[in-house]
Chains A and B, each alone.
Chain A
Amino acid sequence: DAGVIQSPRHEVTEMGQEVTLRCKPISGHNSLFWYRQTMMRGLELLIYFNNNVPIDDSGMPEDRFSAKMPNASFSTLKIQPSEPRDSAVYFCASSLTPGSVEQYFGPGTRLTVT
C-alpha cells in the first residue's frame, strides 16, 4: 500500500496567488482529514469528509480556504488568495471511519507564501 499521497511536497508562492494542495487517501478508507501544522498553533483540524461529504469545516480559518472531495480517491485544499500567514505544513490523513480509529497521515505539503 502506498499510503496517503500528497502533492506537491513543497510549494512556494507569492501573496495573492491561488494555491491548490492535493491528496489521495488510502484505498478503502472512508474518511479524509485536512490538518495544518504550525509552531504556534500545533496540529489543527481544518475540515474532514466522510464518504466524500464534508462533515465539519469549522476549522477552516477563512473563506479564502476551500476543500473538495469529488470522489473517494481524491481531495483538494485550495487557498485563494494566499497570504504569508498561511505558511505552514498541511497534512492530509485518512481512516476507515471518522470515529475512534487510527488516522494515517501523508508526508505533508510545506507551503511558503512570500
Chain B
Amino acid sequence: GENVEQHPSTLSVQEGDSAVIKCTYSDSASNYFPWYKQELGKGPQLIIDIRSNVGEKKDQRIAVTLNKTAKHFSLHITETQPEDSAVYFCAANLRDDKIIFGKGTRLHILP
C-alpha cells in the first residue's frame, strides 16, 4: 500500500545548529504535505505545510522543501532552541482524502 518513509528516527543537534528531517512518499497523486510537532503528552500540532505547486516554503526558523519528481520532502529547522525538542511527523495526502503519516523523528536539542 501507499506509505511515507521518514528519516532519521532520532536526531540530536547542538542548540543553535540546524536540524533536517527527510521524507519520501509513494503516491504520485499526493499534493499536500503537512508537518506535525508532537510534544510529550499532547496531540500532534501542525507547524507548516506545503502544496505541490511550490518547491519551498518558509516560516521564521522553519522551512520545507519539496521535490515532486523524486517524491522527497524535507523539514529544516535553523537556529534550534530547547523548545524545538519534540517528535516531528511528516505526512502526505492520498487520493482518497486520507493523510498518511511517517513514523516520526525524535529531535533532541542539546544544551
Q: Could you say which residues of chain A place their CB within 8 Å of the CB of B32?
A: 99-100
Q: Could you say which residues of chain B place their CB within 8 Å of the CB of A106?
A: 43
Cα distance A102–B44 in the bound complex, in angstroms: 11
List the one stretch of A13-21, A40-48, A73-81 in contact with chain B: A40-48
Please state if A99 and B102 are interface contacts (CB–CB under 8 Å).
Answer: no
Please state if B51 and A100 are interface contacts (CB–CB under 8 Å).
Answer: yes
Name the residue of chain B whose CB is nearest to the CB of A98: B97
Please state if B98 and A56 are interface contacts (CB–CB under 8 Å).
Answer: yes
Q: Could you say which residues of chain A place their CB within 8 Å of the CB of B34?
A: 102-103
Given A100-B51, A102-B49, A93 contacting B100 (CB threshold 8 A) = no
Closest chain A CB from B66 CB (angstroms)? 14
Give per-residue flags for A86-98: 1 if the beta carbon is below 8 A from chain B beta carbons, else 0: 0000010100001
Please state if B104 and A42 are interface contacts (CB–CB under 8 Å).
Answer: yes
Given A56-B96, A99-B93, A100-B32, A43 contacting B43 (CB threshold 8 A) = no
B23-62 contacts to A (CB < 8 Å): 31-32, 34, 36, 41-46, 49, 51
Q: Could you show 8 A-B contacts with beta carbons less than 8 Å apart?
A: A48-B98, A91-B43, A98-B97, A100-B31, A100-B32, A102-B49, A107-B41, A107-B42
Known pairs A42-B89, A45-B98; list 10 more (Cβ under 8 Å).
A42-B101, A42-B104, A43-B44, A48-B98, A55-B97, A98-B98, A99-B93, A105-B36, A105-B44, A108-B42
Please give me the 7 A-B residue pairs with the lowest Cβ-Cβ distance, nearest first: A105-B43, A100-B32, A42-B103, A98-B97, A43-B101, A102-B46, A100-B93
Q: Give A residues with C-beta under 8 Å from B.
A: 4, 42-43, 45, 48, 55-56, 91, 93, 98-100, 102-108
